A and B are shown apart, each in its own frame.
Chain A
Amino acid sequence: MNIEILGITVLWIFLFGYILIGAIDFGAGFFNAYSLFTGRQRILTNVIQRYLSPVWEVTNVFLVFFFVGIIGFFPKTAFYYGTTLLVPVSFAIILLAIRGSYYAFETYGARGHKGYSFAYGSTGLLLPASLSIVLTISEGGFIELVNGQPVLDYWKLFTSPLTWSIVVLSIAATLYISSAFLTWYANKAGDHEATQLLRKYALIWALPTIIAAGGIIFELRKHNPLHYESIQTFWPMFLISLLLFLGTVFLIWKQRQYGVAFGLLMGQFIFAFFGYGASHYPYLLYPYLTIYDSFTNQAMAIALIIAFICGLFLLIPSLYLLLRMFLFNKEYVKGKENHHA
């Protein structure tokens, strides 16, 4: 493994981390708002709030880590993506800002405030959609070089079926991941009513997720044949992903082993996400940018990797502590204790 691949692998892992816990987070915010407006608040709010409260800031750091890391390891991305993504990423920032701050406003300052809950619930759902545009653009065909400056073709972007398949996938997957996780969490908390409702949501969102995912591969065949071919060489990964998906749905359907079900779901997304990532290699942006021609100098690469390893020594025990105190703490999950400031 060369240093370029090492760099992109680290970043891809963190992006996966963001997508996973971000999906749980955004979906939870949406279900919370939805339950407030449909009178099911009593059933869901408690469970959702207990999970979300101590971790929201951590979620955001995964994203920051990814974009700071990509500029560090692949500085040329700043030029290509920075110039072209001004509008889509600005929208994402605005959604993210509303989502993050209004979540805190509602949780710490105005519990149960409908307007605030709606603000962060709805922006949380739009956020994956707006961020997923970056993945669409990376497939190429939407950026052209005009006088040496990259320019994004909005018309082409928003009329492409690929764009919309990815948008649908991002939203469906967010709700699917989130409801599957919360089913497990609610079950752990011994909250039968919430478990049943969330289980229903998980089953509802499973189908659109898998259809949209299949649709994207189909769209790619037309849009980016090079990538489509590359995807085919990784077919075992996508097959495993599909089998894991079926396993998750089966367990949730049969109301068995919600923890295992969520484990399989994580496996499903890991295989799909890394299969997709590997087939994207070596391009960061078709056809202009590969991980090789955009890579930073050796001195910086080594410094970043050393910093990363030192950082992990700090991070892993801290994350373990966080999970142990909240996610894996029975008393906390069941809501027997309230130690909020």
Chain B
Amino acid sequence: MFRTALRNVSAHKARLLMTVLAVMLGVAFVSGTLVFTNTISDAYQKSSAKGFDQVDVAVRPEYQDSRGDRVGRTPELTRALLDRAAAAPGAASATGVVTGFTAIAGKDGKLLGDGWQSAGGNYWGTEDARYPLVAGHAPSGRGEVLIDARTAERAGYQVGDTVRLSVDGPVLTPRISGVFRTDDGNVAAGGSLALFDTPTAQALFGKKGTYDEIDVKATAGTSQRALKTALDEALPAQLVETTTGKRLADDQAEMISTSMSGLKRSLLVFAGIALFVGTFIIANTFTMLVAQRTRELALLRAVGASRRQVTRSVLIEALVVGTVAGVTGLAAGVGIGAGLRSLLGAFGASVPDGPLVVTPGTVLTALAVGIVITVLAAWLPGRRAAKIPPVAAMSSVHAKATTKSLVLRNTLGALFSAAGVAVVLAATTMDTDSAQGPMGVGAVLLVIGVFILTPLLSRPLIAAAAPVLRVFGVAGRLARQNSVRNPRRTAATASALMIGLTLITGMTVMAGSLQTSIDRMASSAIRADYVVSMANRGPLSPDVARRLAGVDGVTASSPLRNGASRIGGETEYLTGVDGSAIGRLTDLKVDDGSFTVGGSRIVVDKDRAREHGWRVGSRITAHFEDGAARGLTVAGIYEGNDMFNGIMLDNEVLTPHLADPADMRVMVRTRGGASDGAKDRLEKALGSNPAILVQDKKDISHDIARMFTLMLNMVYGLLGMAVIVAVLGVINTLAMSVFERSQEIGMLRAIGLDRRSVKRMVRLESLVISLFGGVLGIGLGVFFGWAAGELLGTKMPTYELVLPWGRMALFLLLAGVVGVLAALWPARRAARLNMLAAIKAE
């Protein structure tokens, strides 16, 4: 039997090719993901381990949330602590580490990088072992800075150049005193690092006289563990915690692999979708192969093969196909992994170098996935093959497609679909957090239901296309009839396409709706003409708000200042605003009371008010960072959103209690509204700071749109794989259907259907099947998009379903293109058919 199975594989090479390709793509996706994530996390781990070379024990402040009613403040690592650490037995030296945000401008004055990875730090003393200098000398004072070699090279800076920097507001223009090398992961991943001398760094980052961390180096012969013990004794335990360098490296490695596994999981989900779609194709192919070989299989039975042997021969075939697909898929996957890495590099997010990691696990997974999926998908067709009676060997005609009633199937499908719709609808009425599970279950049920129902749906939906097809005359009519001839096969083919399009459409609907609503929220709640923020959304120096308030033409401005407090024993974050201006800068819906902020009068959002049981007039006591308490009165309750929420109070009340005031944003209103001139004046007032963004509403919308576009494009790319697999399925089905109908096609040619019409007939059939899948997918996608939106809508008052008609039309068009492309080869084959051979009775 094994030999028969092998012969069959080689006899049907062409027909199995699509199956192999379909499985291969899925396997390649899986193994590519594994190779890529393993390689990246390996490289990061190696590079981060190097980063801890200089650290034997790290001393960090003991973080405390709160003590009593006072908001917790982190203990300070002072010079005195550092000296005590350095004097501990076994300690060779101690380095104080200061870190912060530092934006570097390129020669064109624009920010280097995207702002998220622009870091700053301190250079310890005159020779810092952490940062070996390539050129120049250690920085000294505000007038000098070191920058990392990668950034210097990228921006074309040299020692002696003047560079524009910004930490939290004012622009600095120090001279580059030197360039250093670093294995810092942030820099390796495309970020920048600027170093000042320690006092300057402390001043700039708002940490006068203190450090973020003290790194202690052990003397030769002292173990990290011994040093840690010594430090624990030497330093006050309630203020600091100590960690060995090895532990830090391990933690970092762990963190990297955790974050990688998130990426891995989401990539594998998409790979799973592609594989799932692939199973349809495998099942379809084997069903058709078995149907075509009815006589052959019956003959085997007639000469004494048992049912089990027949099934096994089909499964062995599947095994061979699966193995080939697994091996080629693995090879392709290694290629994909390498490709992805260099692709990341091309996007500027350079990844630390390292060898390509192909673990035995990856190899095993790839092979197992390929083989298991193929054999499982071929299981049912194999069982069906065993049911062929030996007498079928004697009958002359092709096995007819099973005309088994669809009643059971339709009933089952209807039940699944109804249950799915019901669960999804029920989920939309639940609250957002608990509804996610039911929503997912409902979605899966509905997809399965629709999949089971596709044979039933195919008739009316394809009949609806009849008027269009009529234009194409006989070819159109035959195409329509052919496409509903084997509803199961059409269904399986269309479903493969449906799945991809459902996800794509659902994502598009959701993203579009979200984008619109966020956009609307931003524009409806903001009355300010400009919103000023840090490029990394980090804190702004209060200096920025002061400067902006003084710009000519500014009629109102207010910072949104951060402040923590304890209210009723719980930590509450406060937003400090300019009480006299905030009403003219925001347009928030007030549910109760009035939007008045000033003195002890505050406003709170609806959710917080409900949480605490506050009403207009409620009196509350807030304990600030410095321990002082203050009585406040709720003047109004407003509807919050992502940008504005929480407790707003006047800065005149808040600021005196803050040791280090910092603003998240500054809102500005100018005379005559937003204009290029106004924007220019604002930017100039800030010294054309590369780190500070001055955005009008349009810029904000643009930012939001860009974020969504980026996300959607990524999703499209990943789901594109599922669509490609579906295309293979359409090709496969058409090729089979042409093969099965060769006699008919021969007859049609004989009685006068020309080659062009034959081609057109096949193409139209393909088009009909693809569009059918497309319509189903887009329909389901819109439903899911709507349902998900209903959920989100409860959290976002401005949410409204936006149907991307243009995109949807594009997807339908895409389905059509898929159909036409998939038909190219089968249509050619049909047109080239040998008429005489085809007409012959058998």
Q: Do A and B come from one complex?
A: no
Where the two chains meet, the residues of B that have a C-beta atom closer than 8 Å to any C-beta of A are none
Where the two chains meet, the residues of A that have a C-beta atom closer than 8 Å to any C-beta of B are none
